[in-house]
Amino acid sequence: MADIDYSQKIPNNVNLAEDRRLQRALEAWQPKYVDWWKEMGPAGFQADDVYLRTAVDVGREGWAHFGHVQMPEYRWGIFLSEPEKDRTIGFGDLKGEPVWQEVPGEYRADLRRLIVVQGDTEPASVEQQRLLGKSAPSLYDLRNLFQVNIEEGRHLWAMVYLLFGYFGREGRDEADAMLERRSGDPDQPRILQAFNEKTPDWLSFFMFTYFTDRDGKYQLGALKESAFDPLSRTCDFMLKEEAHHMFVGASGIGRIIQRTCDLMKEYNTQDVTPHGGINLETIQRYINFHYSVSMDLFGSPKSSNAAIYYSAGLKGRFGEASKDDDHLLNSSESTFLTVSDGKIIEESSGALSLVNDDVRSDYSIDCGKGVRRWNRILSDNGVDFEMRLPHVGFHRGVGPFVDAKISPDGKVLSDEEWEASVKQWLPSEKEQAYVSSLMVPEYGVGKMAGWIAAPSSGINTKPVDFDYVRL
């Protein structure tokens, strides 16, 4: 296992220099990537010094180096976690056999598809977030936005390396297509719908990093189980970077809630909008929206594709080893929620067909942890309000609830009942316009916009009033 070599054009720990053909192919893709970054990455700020972390080691705790760098000069590279000695396949029909260092011919198309779908989300989110720098609530937040963007760019590199390295001509074409699709473009959209939506304001950004990046965590966790070892090792290291993205979301929403509590107390009111804050009900509606669209990314709970991927060892469940079952799922049953005759019911099915729902339900439990932390902020401030995750059937675009109308507390509604109440549950246009009216930049060192509290600490032991971005 090589250390990360930063003396090369493309930093890497995969001995790229020993594979001239692959190295040349990736070096030919690199300028196209940088062009994409300049065109579709953060609007503005490309010549400013940003305090960014860069991976310097994949193994140890202190794996990252921090320093000011201009974003186009960032050293995007290819970093895989250390190989696990004698690793064997942990699930599916080939359980117990050695993992693969090459792609078996019969799984080529499926594996390529899994990698392309994951890879496509990475540049997509950068595109979705490209205008947010212009309305950052602080330099601290501006820096966090760019850190997330830079690392999503690196995640694209992670997937593109696999495409170039293991999928020949088709892989190279797929890598080029990654730079040609555009989030929200009607002619060349990104593959998954949630990645074609806008991220128009910072409340949405924090919700996205909390809920949608967490979908990424669960997808990467499931792919990390893969029998295709290079994919497994790539995803393992991506997960390390991903943790910060979800921290940005969890802490960002927490700080908004804190600020709202402060304003509620200061002005003795429930409605903080006259004072430039974001009402708790609004935050709840944004949670409802982002949680429901993020759950759609897990696909249909019952899925024959997911069963095929599982049996073949291509994609497992999140935390496969911690699951207390046979890891084959051929003979066990499980249940999922669906709607029938106007009622929500539990339906049973073979566990193998419900792998998607297994991953999704672990995701939902994980989402609930942050909600509990936010509720602690509310109770610590003596505010009688509880944030909640809506029911799994609420506002779904994928799966058995698509044609049903389900309230956040899990009641089946008629179309009329839904229409009469949906304004209480999803952000209205007026409300979104209000949130966007708050989005004026605060670029003063250590200053915060009025709708969000300061973080309790800075990045990498630096103070909150550090010049995270030098404008």
To Fe ion, the closest distance from the beta carbon of 147 in angstroms equals: 10
Q: What is the DSSP secondary structure assignment for residue 321, as one 8-state letter?
A: G
To Fe ion, the closest distance from the beta carbon of 266 in angstroms equals: 35
Q: Which is nearer to Fe ion, 198 or 423 (CB)?
A: 198
Residues 6+ apart with CB under 8 A from 280: 257, 260, 270, 378, 383, 385, 387
Is 250 in contact with 375 (CB distance < 8 Å)? no
Q: How far is CA 76 from CA 12, 31, 64, 459, in A?
A: 9, 12, 13, 21
Residues 6+ apart with CB under 8 A from 380: none
Q: Which is nearer to Fe ion, 242 or 431 (CB)?
A: 242
Is 335 in contact with 346 (CB distance < 8 Å)? yes
Per CB under 5 A, the segment of 157-165, 207-215, 282-290, 360-368 that binds Fe ion is 207-215
Per CB under 5 A, the segment of 148-156, 256-264, 355-363, 408-416 that binds Fe ion is 148-156
When asked if residue 130 is in the footprint of Fe ion (CB under 5 A), the reply is no
When asked if residue 236 is in the footprint of Fe ion (CB under 5 A), the reply is no
Query: Which of 130, 154, 181, 245 touches Fe ion by CB under 5 A?
Result: 245
Per CB under 5 A, the segment of 153-161, 361-369, 420-428, 440-448 that binds Fe ion is 153-161
To Fe ion, the closest distance from the beta carbon of 405 in angstroms equals: 32
Q: Which is nearer to Fe ion, 225 or 241 (CB)?
A: 241
To Fe ion, the closest distance from the beta carbon of 237 in angstroms equals: 11
Number of residues that bind Fe ion (CB under 5 A): 6
DSSP 361-401: HHHHHHHHHHHHHHHHHHHHTT------PPPTTTT-SSSTT
Per CB under 5 A, the segment of 144-152, 252-260, 378-386, 447-455 that binds Fe ion is 144-152
Q: Distance (Å, rounded) from C-alpha 261 to C-alpha 415?
A: 35
What tokens appear for 208 in the block?
A: 């996205």
Burial of 415 from C-beta contacts in 10 A (0-12 / 13-18 / 19+): exposed
* Residue 5, SS3 per DSSP: strand
**Residue where the block lists tokens 């590199």:** 157
What tokens appear for 152 in the block?
A: 């999503």
Q: Which is nearer to Fe ion, 245 or 405 (CB)?
A: 245
To Fe ion, the closest distance from the beta carbon of 244 in angstroms equals: 8
To Fe ion, the closest distance from the beta carbon of 217 in angstroms equals: 8
Per CB under 5 A, contacts with Fe ion among 289-348 are: none
When asked if residue 213 is in the footprint of Fe ion (CB under 5 A), the reply is yes
When asked if residue 155 is in the footprint of Fe ion (CB under 5 A), the reply is yes
346 DSSP β-pair partners: 337
When asked if residue 190 is in the footprint of Fe ion (CB under 5 A), the reply is no
The residues that touch Fe ion, with contacts defined as CB under 5 A, are: 122, 152, 155, 213, 242, 245
